A and B are shown apart, each in its own frame.
Chain A
Amino acid sequence: MTSVGDTLAACAAYGLPTSNRLPRGPLPGETFTTLLAHAEHHRLLGFLGAAVRDGALVVDADQRADLEMKLEGWLAHALRVEALLLSTIDELERAGIDHRVFKGVALANTVYDDPALRVFADVDVLVPSTEFATAARLLDATLGTQRALPELRPGFDTTFGREAMLRSDGGLELDVHRTFVDGAYGLTVDLDDLFGTPRVFTLGGRDVATFQPAHQLLSSCYSAALGDWPVRLASQRDVVQLIWVDDPSADDVLGLARRWRSQPVVARAICQAWATLEPGFTPPLVDWARGFAPGAFDRILLASYRGPARGITTQAAGVLVVPGIRDKLLYLHAVAMPQRAYLEQRGMSSVAHWRRGLARLWPRR
């Protein structure tokens, strides 16, 4: 009998040449309910829907109705998110702020035949570091969003930060990024590389700019290898899909990865995606990834993105790649002693912040 985990992996690989197989008959009610919940968590409802529509996964009428209800909910959300994105682009363009849309919205509309396959939760837009604070303030002022959390310390975001998470009145999330991830690997990305000639897709009759395929693949590798923990299967599908559809030059991808010091990230993302989805093709990048062995320093950095204390370890490990003593001290100061507004928003005092950090680093057994 096929487990829910196997069925999920088969859903994540649906439409690819793969040895992953969906179960033949209808799943028992409880198993299907579990599958639906996991598929939602892993952002796989679109693939599950496609498998059912194509008859590759047989369901009964009640199961189909449950899936339709959940899928319609996510697709309606995707449309609201895309509308927010278009408003965001309007404002950024009006202010002359360069930007690139990436992650869910961009992937759904560039590398998948049907954007409904790839559901997503929020808007992700990258702006140049020099425009980061201006962009976040501008969007708050014009779209009526509110920043969910102040920066760690004044000025931290522009130099070291990952993103400002803004929330709309309707509860939609708009992430204005400076880089892809927190911590060390977010600090070594050469951000200027990302604002070259864009790849353009059409959304609601408008041209929208995202990254070129090699950059899009690398950014997806950061999400798959360092983002959610445990990893969401949709992120792994993105990695495989980008390689399958775009077939970016291995030289281009590895050249960028070397420059961004992210070879361990790319290797991990590709190896894990191939192990889970079992695609029936092995491009040169996969051979490279399987043969790549990160050094001790990178093993430490990679480990900082995993585990229950990763919120702390990720930020702490960042200091290892911050250049210069002065910047290292500024970085450590911000991470260790966030400003009061930040702590208040999180409902913590400085002491509680430290205690919480220590408790996560050394949990009681």
Chain B
Amino acid sequence: MTSKSYRRRPDVLWRRSLDAVLCLPPGASEPVTLAATGPEVWDLLERPCSVDQLASELAQRHGIDAQTVARDVLPLLERLAVLGLVGPVL
């Protein structure tokens, strides 16, 4: 499950503010705001990234256990996929 890779969808319009990333997927009328660690995750998803890779990178940056991070990252990625912001890389 955690080896599945994701990346940003190229048709998503987005901007970075000071503390957040705003994303507008195709067909949506209102942007989604990614705050807290969302902008970091968005940056990393410029290239295909598995949950394990994301968790490992974020854990290293913030000095936290990778497994703990993975438990938070997976639902975030699934949520981003539902919103049409990221897609799985096959």
User: What chain A residues lie within 8 Å of B16 (beta carbons)?
Assistant: 114, 116
CA of A56 to CA of B29, assembled, Å? 34
Cβ of B74 under 8 Å from chain A: no
CB distance from B38 to the nearest CB of A (A): 13
Cβ of A67 under 8 Å from chain B: yes
User: What chain A residues lie within 8 Å of B31 (beta carbons)?
Assistant: 75-76, 79-80
Q: Is the CB of B15 within 8 A of A64?
A: no
Cβ of A358 under 8 Å from chain B: no
CA of A75 to CA of B15, assembled, Å? 6
CA of A318 to CA of B58, assembled, Å? 61
Q: Is the CB of B17 within 8 A of A72?
A: yes
Q: Is the CB of B24 within 8 A of A68?
A: no
Q: Is the CB of B18 within 8 A of A78?
A: no
CA of A48 to CA of B75, assembled, Å? 34
Binary contact readout A63-91 vs B (1 if CB under 8 angstroms, 0 otherwise) = 01001100110011011101100000000
Identify which of residues 14-36 in chain B touch chain A, using a CB-to-CB cut-off of 8 Å.
Answer: 14-20, 22-24, 26, 28-31, 33
CB distance from A120 to the nearest CB of B (A): 11
CA of A52 to CA of B28, assembled, Å? 30
Q: Is the CB of B18 within 8 A of A76?
A: no
Cβ of A361 under 8 Å from chain B: no
Q: Is the CB of B11 within 8 A of A79?
A: no
Q: Is the CB of B29 within 8 A of A205?
A: no
User: What chain A residues lie within 8 Å of B18 (beta carbons)?
Assistant: 49, 52-53, 64, 67-68, 71
Cβ of A283 under 8 Å from chain B: no
Identify which of residues 49-90 in chain B touch chain A, using a CB-to-CB cut-off of 8 Å.
Answer: none
Q: Is the CB of B12 within 8 A of A204?
A: yes
User: What chain B residues lie within 8 Å of A170 (beta carbons)?
Assistant: 29
Most buried by A among B23, B31, B33: B31
Q: Is the CB of B17 within 8 A of A78?
A: no
Interface SS of chain A: helix
Q: Is the CB of B17 within 8 A of A79?
A: no
Most buried by B among A115, A203, A204, A205: A204
Q: Is the CB of A71 within 8 A of B17?
A: yes
CA of A71 to CA of B23, assembled, Å? 14
Binary contact readout A128-148 vs B (1 if CB under 8 angstroms, 0 otherwise) = 000000000000000000000
**A72 touches which one: B12, B26, B33 (CB < 8 A)?**
B33
CA of A76 to CA of B29, assembled, Å? 10
User: What chain B residues lie within 8 Å of A53 (beta carbons)?
Assistant: 18
CA of A18 to CA of B33, assembled, Å? 34
Q: Is the CB of B13 within 8 A of A83?
A: yes
Q: Is the CB of A79 within 8 A of B15?
A: yes
Residue of A nearest to B16 (CB): A116
Q: Is the CB of A205 within 8 A of B10?
A: yes
Residue of B nearest to A170 (CB): B29
Residue of B nearest to A50 (CB): B18
Known: A116-B17, A204-B11, A204-B13. A79 touches B22 (CB 8 A): yes
Most buried by A among B17, B24, B26, B31: B17
CB distance from A265 to the nearest CB of B (A): 31
CB distance from A113 to the nearest CB of B (A): 11
Q: Is the CB of A115 within 8 A of B15?
A: yes
Q: Is the CB of B11 within 8 A of A205?
A: yes
Q: Is the CB of B20 within 8 A of A79?
A: no
CB distance from A32 to the nearest CB of B (A): 14
CB distance from A40 to the nearest CB of B (A): 14
Apart from A72-B22, A75-B22, A82-B13, what 11 extra A-B contacts exist at CB < 8 Å?
A67-B18, A68-B18, A71-B17, A72-B20, A75-B31, A79-B23, A80-B29, A80-B31, A116-B16, A170-B29, A204-B10
Q: Interface on A for B, CB 8 Å cutoff?
A: 49, 52-53, 64, 67-68, 71-72, 75-76, 78-80, 82-83, 114-116, 170, 203-206
A-B residue pairs in contact (CB < 8 Å), sample of 29 = A49-B17, A49-B18, A53-B18, A67-B18, A68-B18, A68-B19, A71-B17, A72-B17, A72-B20, A72-B22, A75-B22, A76-B24, A79-B13, A79-B14, A79-B15, A79-B22, A80-B24, A82-B13, A83-B13, A83-B26, A83-B28, A114-B16, A115-B15, A116-B15, A204-B11, A204-B13, A205-B10, A205-B11, A206-B11
